[in-house]
Amino acid sequence: MENLALIDSFSEFKDDKLIDRVTLMAILEDVFRNALKKKFGSDDNFDIIINPDKGDLEIWRNRVVVADDDVEDDNQEISLSEARKIEPDFEVGEDVSEEVKLIDLGRRSILALRQNLISKIHEHDNTTIYKQFKDLIGEIYTAEVHHIRHKAVILLDDEGNEIILPKEKQIPSDFFRKGENVRGIIESVELKGNKPMILMSRTAPEFLEKLFEQEIPEVFDGLITVKRVVRIPGEKAKVAVDSYDDRIDPVGACVGMKGSRIHGIVRELGNENIDVINFTNNPQLFISRALSPAKVTSVSLNDETMHAEVLLKPEEVSKAIGKGGFNIRLAGQLTGYEIDVLREGAEEDVELTEFSDEIEAWIIQEFRKIGLDTAKSVLDQDIDDLVKRTDLEEETIIEVVKILKEEFED
């Protein structure tokens, strides 16, 4: 009855942790065998009988009867006189099975046994959770805000699993309140000690791709394929889509009438501006589409260096570059080419690198980051706008403009 009562007390773990009884019994046997090893030196000659239905457990020690003076290992052997106290007709050489009561293990062993069981169940839970979330990497998951910290938001799912949404994985405009649901993708799962650390991301391109799968039926059904996704989280994104069915307009299906289908995705991403374009294996055409809303006159490629020179009318240049240089940067990431913008009728223009004797290289690089790599491309811009779009001081920009103007005055 002692064993039965102990098993019943352990059943609370089954109920609390939703662990099945068979697994619980397997853990129990392992824990009891460890206790037996510590007490008797070996568990090889012990039978542990577990009844999952009744939650009952019996421990039997098997020993060989030897003459009273021949006992060398009292765990494996029992003297004839001791054996006959159990059954008076035992003879030397016979096997004796004797039940071991929990009280025989000692109070300290029972307390250690219980602690070991708790540890094993937690270890089992953590392994199960790790495997569960490992299979969910790259998938959208929803959890509730539990605690807001400076560097991360701690979320809990319906099972009470803790999920971390780091600050750098949040969209800049994200603002969370305790108790609200948050969607993101499971980005990684690691075991820290025995505890799984689950990281969520809302900034990964895969999150946007999975939102397309959730919100647009044709993508979910495989009629439309999301080929590539690039993002500047919270600002702008470009998504290249394709369809193997010529009857389907992939861009139109994804955007919907007056943007109705994509509106929910934009809202989820903090009003991130999403350009959906038709994918093509033709690199010139793909670059032209990637630079939308700008209208491109021509594209010249150097496939060895993965550079593209794009010719545009002057009024299209600012559209191609976009606010903060986001449009041209994302177009380059989407197509895999480094894109240089050239203006029509700009034969007399001069590359900024020609001014390296007067303008430091890092300053030239700041202009190139926002798609400005010629003298006239810089002179065409408003100084206040250049201050906002680059990391340069106003005085530095004014000095650069002065140097460039002198070139053309000469």
- pLDDT at position 127, please? 77
> Would you say 292 and 273 are in contact if contact means Cβ atoms under 8 Å apart?
no
- In angstroms, the Cα distances linking 269 to 64, 166, 217, 361, 364 are 74, 16, 19, 36, 33
The CATH fold of domain 2-125: N Utilization Substance Protein A; Chain:P; domain 4 (3.30.1480)
Number of helical (H) and strand (E) elements in the chain, helices listed first: 16, 15
In whole angstroms, give the CA distance from residue 212 to residue 225.
10
For the chain, which residues make up each domain, given as ranges? Answer: 2-125, 136-201, 348-410
CA atoms within 13 A on the CB side of 196: 23
Residue 292 makes CB contacts below 8 A (sequence gap 6+) with 275, 277
The CATH fold of domain 136-201: OB fold (Dihydrolipoamide Acetyltransferase, E2P) (2.40.50)
Closest-CA residue to 44 (of 58, 62, 32): 62
> Would you say 189 and 161 are in contact if contact means Cβ atoms under 8 Å apart?
no
DSSP character string of 113-145: HHHHHHHHHHHHHHHHHHHHHHTTBTSEEEEEE
pTM: 0.63
Residue-by-residue pLDDT tens, the chain, 410 positions = 344 445 555 555 544 455 666 667 777 778 788 888 888 888 888 888 877 566 567 888 899 988 888 888 888 888 888 888 888 888 888 898 888 877 667 666 666 666 767 677 777 777 778 888 989 999 999 999 999 998 999 999 988 889 999 999 999 999 999 999 999 999 999 888 778 899 999 999 999 999 999 999 999 999 999 999 999 999 999 999 999 888 999 999 999 888 889 999 999 999 999 999 999 999 999 999 999 999 999 999 998 899 999 998 888 888 898 888 899 999 999 999 999 888 776 556 778 888 888 889 899 888 888 888 888 888 888 888 888 888 899 999 999 999 888 877 65
